[in-house]
A = this chain, B = another copy of it.
Amino acid sequence: MMKEKKVPTAVIQRMPRYYRYLGDLLERGIARVSSAQLSRRMGITASQIRQDLNHFGGFGQQGYGYNVEVLYNEIGRILGQDQEYSVIVIGAGNLGQAVSKYTNFNKRGYKVTALFDSNPALAGTTVAGYPVFDARELPDYLKENHTDIAVLTIPKAGAAETAKILTDGGVQAIWNFASIDLDLPDDKAVVVNVHLSDSLRVLSYKLRELRSEENPEED
């Protein structure tokens, strides 16, 4: 297959959105879509769409549009959706539970195998059928269980230390909800930091902007 290397981060971050929109079209039985149609639906210029997809070799035929299913599957492959992943969740609080129970999580190839929590009282319980272990058992668990992805839903204080245990144990991908930017050795592991408070602040910014447009004299 084609090689796709060093695609700009902004392009990568748009790909899941294409994937969702194409999935919707597919569900509705639409077989072909032009970049102009996709542009109207997604609010991105057609030129941007063509540029983005060209990073991965194109997919479109001039004047004929994209085959929705082919494009959906190919973007899915680029996004690693043709693989299965074993997943552990560190932190069995509400967020850890929400992630573990997340509808379709399993269906999409992300197989939760266990949760870990530093509260020993939770060890031995289950969440959505998955066992919860004492966090101190994590290094031993990783020795015996190949794990692709760890989800970090713990406070920021322990996040860097836990990340080190994970990467030392061979985990190559961390989905980090702790409110700290984890910086891991590039050649060893990848991380996506999810800062929920950042997105809440963007919302507050937009609300303030909306209100100042309504009442410009007050600003």
B-contacting residues, A195-211, CB 8 Å? 195-211
Q: Which of B99, B191, B211 contacts A172 (CB 8 A)?
A: B211
* This chain's copy number in the assembly: 2
Determine whether the beta carbon of A219 is less than 8 Å from that of B3: yes
User: Could you mark each residue 207-219 of chain A with 1 if its beta carbon is under 8 Å from any beta carbon of chain B, else 0?
Assistant: 1111101000001
Chain B residue numbers with a CB within 8 Å of A199 are 16, 175, 192, 194
User: Could you mark each residue 147-181 of chain A with 1 if its beta carbon is under 8 Å from any beta carbon of chain B, else 0?
Assistant: 01100000100000000000000001111000101
A28-36, A79-87, A113-121, A133-141: which lies at the interface: A79-87
Asked if A15 meets B192 with Cβ closer than 8 Å, knowing A3-B219, A206-B173, the reply is no
Chain B residue numbers with a CB within 8 Å of A108 are 197
Determine whether the beta carbon of A202 is less than 8 Å from that of B192: yes
Chain B residue numbers with a CB within 8 Å of A80 are 201, 204-205, 207-208
Given A12-B206, A172-B207, A190-B209; 6 other pairs, CB 8 A cutoff:
A13-B198, A16-B195, A78-B205, A79-B201, A98-B98, A173-B207
Asked if A201 meets B155 with Cβ closer than 8 Å, knowing A97-B94, A98-B98, the reply is no
Q: How far is the CA of A80 from the CA of B204 in the complex (A)?
A: 5
Determine whether the beta carbon of B16 is less than 8 Å from that of A219: no
Q: How far is the CA of A208 from the CA of B15 in the complex (A)?
A: 14
Determine whether the beta carbon of A101 is less than 8 Å from that of B110: no
- The 10 nearest A-B residue pairs measured at CB: A80-B204, A94-B98, A16-B198, A190-B206, A80-B208, A95-B98, A16-B201, A173-B207, A192-B203, A79-B201
Shortest distance from the beta carbon of A209 to any chain B beta carbon, whole Å: 8
Any chain B CB within 8 A of the CB of A146? no
Determine whether the beta carbon of A155 is less than 8 Å from that of B103: yes
Chain B residue numbers with a CB within 8 Å of A200 are 110, 175, 192
**Closest B residue to A128 using CB positions:** B94
Any chain B CB within 8 A of the CB of A130? no
